[in-house]
Amino acid sequence: MKRTRQFLYLVALITFCFYTHSKAQKTYPNIIIIYVDDLGYGDIGVNGAIGVKTPYVDKLASNGINFTDAHASAATCTPSRYSLITGSYAFRNRAGILNGNAPLIIDTEMRTLPDMLKDAGYTTGVVGKWHLGLGDGNTDWNGRVEPGPKEVGFDYSFLIPATGDRVPTVFLEDQKVVGLDTEDPISVNYKTPVDNGYPLGRDHPELLKQYADGQHLGAVTNGISRIGYMKGGESALWVDEKIPFVLSEKAVRFIEASKQQPFFLFFSLHDIHQPRIANVRFIETSTMGPRGDVIAQMDWCVGEITNKLKSLAIEDNTIVIFTSDNGPILDDGYLDYARELVGRHTPGGPYRGSKYSIYEAGTRMPTIVSWPGEIRPGTSHALLSQVDLYASLARLVGEKLNKGDAPDSEDHLDAWLGKEQEGRKVLFEQAYAYGLRKDKYKYIQPKQRDEIPGWLKNKFVDPGFSTIPMLFDLEKDPGETNNIAEENVALVKEMEEHLNKILSAPTREK
Ligand code: NG6
Ligand code: CA
């Protein structure tokens, strides 16, 4: 009898220790944001893609929630990323597309999304495209480049510093160039060619794998001419065709190394940004040429992550948020026949516009949230913005926001998890013009002719510039073709005032 009681005590003690131990170690789910570059709403199978198959993304959607009205905070890369990481609209910091030698644009005193998750006990990492600036503006690429991801809350980083079409074309791991030979130091310049630097695309078209427009005729590395000039670092140059493999491997290693404690991984792909140079494994896997092939390549990267979660048996306890930084673009600097080969495939789905555009396709992103252990699969029409992930995830992990943290981020955790169908009441949209969504309406603020950037006038984009106000009823007219501003003067005035209020002050603490 006594022995039995002792045995029962022992069992109870072991159970208690095991429970408290595992609770302390893993109270919160892992969080992975898979951030695709320039992927449009209609570019994934579940949203109607015709020219390419995306089985891994579709599987994620069938296990999770597919959002039809979730938005990037802007229609270009740097501003969207800035908002995601800081919970603040990018215009407040005048964040525009950055060059490869631009300084870090995030104030290191700010409490960022990774800072907040670290406070909740997370290990944090970023793998892939950064494009938020590095260093202090006078960057020496031959030592540790700081400030950078570490100084804004990421424990680990493996980076493409800016974009695939901008120098320097080298990776940085924990803010040091990977594989650099100190005898061959790197120098980068965006104004004038560097003496004895890499040959220029403008002088050597015979070196190029893909013809480029006038903006992309700087340094040629790996047969591709880029924006900007560069010298040195030959042993460190990336091979474009291998980027998806390198990044996926680093992301998977981070997951493996961090699986004991909750982790946050910001996996930021180079695909499907230009130059779109698919690995031979993916060439002709789509009917759309390079742009379709790199969508298939992107899908493979998603599979690398989801397969790894499964094999480590942490799938049920990991939230995967799959989305894109801005809308799709067919022709953006390199001749890869995206326009000619697109066929009936509609990159922006039913929506008007593209990357750079204030029309819906500019910011309405393919967006999937999966968390097999917790959420029921389905579709959600909640109106959401990526700027809200900060406040929403803060609630998930029990972190309070201090005054000044994430000033534009609203907590819509229940909508992100599919427990609530309502999202934002009002959504601010940023491109080269500003827009506002409210109820079924979309308002676009007018622009004066001289406010329109010259380089956008020549693009094959539909930026949504108008010298008169525009108002659309998205329920009747999701393609934004019928401007009803004249018939709705009072509503236009109200929306204009609301927009100006957002432009003049942070929006969360109302
Ligand atoms: C633009 C580039 C474009 C692309 C973009 C950044 C020109 C004319 N166009 O300035 O090719 O690099 O910047 O894209 O230079 S983003 O997705 O990172 O915002
Ligand atoms: Ca982008």
Instruction: Give me the pLDDT at residue 456, please.
Output: 82
- How many domains does the chain contain in total? 3
Counting residues of the chain whose pLDDT is more than 70, the rounded percentage is: 94
pLDDT at 98 over 90: yes
Q: Which residue has the least CA distance to atom 17 on ligand 1?
A: 77
Domain-embedded: residue 1: no
End residue of a domain, out of 379, 400, 421: 421
The residues lining ligand 1, judged by C-beta closer than 6 Å to any ligand atom, are 37-38, 76-77, 97, 131, 163, 165, 215, 227, 273, 326, 332-333, 455
Mean pLDDT of 439-453: 91
Question: Which ligand 1 atom lies nearest to the CA of residue 325?
Answer: 17
pLDDT reading at 439 higher than 80 = yes
How many angstroms separate the alpha carbon of residue 384 from the centre of ligand 1?
A: 25
Which atom of ligand 1 lies closest to the CA of 131? 18
Determine, yes or no, domain membership for 19.
Answer: no
**How close is the Cα of 186 to the center of ligand 1, in Å?**
23
Tally of CA atoms within 13 A in the half-sphere of 239 that contains its CB: 8
246 and 341 part of one domain: yes
What's the rounded Cα separation, in Å, for the pair 352 and 30?
35
Query: Does residue 463 have a cis bond before it (omega within 30 degrees)?
Result: no
Domain termination residue (choose one: 231, 265, 292): 231
Same domain, 38 and 121: yes
pLDDT digits (tens, 9 = 90+) for 222-262: 999 999 999 999 999 999 999 999 999 999 999 999 999 99
The answer to whether 381 and 360 have CB atoms below 8 angstroms apart is: no
Q: Which atom of ligand 1 is nearest to the CA of 163?
A: 18
**3-state SS, residue 414:** helix
Same domain, 144 and 243: yes
Give the DSSP H/E element, type plus range, for residue 390. Answer: helix 389-396
CATH of the domain at 447: 3.30.1120.10
pLDDT band at 452 (very low <50, low <70, confident <90, very high): confident
pTM over 0.85: yes
For residue 510, what pLDDT band results from cuts at 50, 70 and 90? very low
Quick one: DSSP state of residue 199? P
Whole-number Å distance, alpha carbon 98 to ligand 1 midpoint, is 9
* Same-domain pairing of 376 and 472: no
Does residue 316 fall inside a structural domain? yes
Choose the residue to mutate in 163, 226, 354, 357 for probing ligand 1, maximizing ligand atoms within 8 Å of C-beta: 163
In 186-337, which residue ranges form alpha helices assigned H by DSSP? 243-258, 290-311
Atom of ligand 1 nearest to the CA of 215: 15
Do 95 and 39 lie in one domain? The reply is yes
95 C-alpha to ligand 2 centroid (Å): 14
| Residue 21: inside a domain | no
Pairing of strands 378-380, 65-67: parallel
Confidence of residue 7 (pLDDT cuts 50, 70, 90): low
Which bound ligand lies closest to the C-alpha atom of 324? Answer: 2
The Cα–Cα gap between 152 and 491 comes to 41
CA distance 265 to 157: 10
d(CA 29, CA 330): 37
Ligand 2 centre distance from Cα of residue 354 (Å): 11
Residues 416 and 268 in one domain: yes
Pocket test residue of 35, 73, 76 for ligand 1, highest count of atoms within 8 A of CB = 76
CATH of the domain at 243: 3.40.720.10
CA of 80 to the centre of ligand 2 (A): 8
Whether residue 124 is found in the same domain as residue 202: no
Higher pLDDT: 7 or 410? It is 410
Tokens coding 305 = 């992550």
CA quadruple 140, 212, 81, 312: dihedral, nearest 10: -90
17 within domain boundaries? no
Do 367 and 398 reside in the same domain of the chain? yes
Residue 365 belongs to some domain of the structure = yes
> Atom 14 of ligand 1 has which residue's CA nearest to it?
77
Which ligand does the CA of 99 lie closest to?
Answer: 1
455 and 352 inside one domain: no
Q: Mind listing the pLDDT tens digit for each residue in 132-178? A: 999 999 999 999 999 999 999 999 999 999 999 999 999 999 999 99
How far CA 278 is from CA of 36, 57, 159, 272, 378, in Å, comes to 15, 18, 19, 10, 32
* Residue at which a domain ends, from 404, 421, 438: 421
Atom 19 of ligand 1: nearest residue by CA position:
77
Are residues 161 and 86 located together in one domain of the fold?
yes
**Which of 83, 326, 332 has most ligand 1 atoms within 8 Å of its beta carbon, as the pocket-test mutant?**
332
Which atom of ligand 1 lies nearest, measured to the CA of 333? Answer: 11
In a domain, 5, yes or no: no
Q: What six digits make up the tokens of 361?
A: 């396709």
What average pLDDT does range 114-124 have in this prediction? 98
Which residue segment(s) compose the domain that 369 sits in?
A: 28-181+239-421
CA-326 nearest atom, ligand 1: 17
Q: Where do we find the tokens 């995601």? A: 84
Same domain, yes or no: 226 and 243 = no
C-alpha to C-alpha distance for 71 and 505, rounded to whole angstroms: 21
Q: How far apart are the first and last CA of the chain?
A: 66
Q: Is residue 249 part of a domain?
A: yes
Relative to the CA of 129, which ligand 1 atom is closest? 18
Ligand whose nearest atom lies closest to the CA of 218: 1
Q: Is there a single domain that holds both residue 208 and residue 344?
A: no
Ligand 1 atom 12 nearest Cα: 165
Query: What is the Cα–Cα distance from 246 to 284, expressed in whole angstroms?
Result: 21
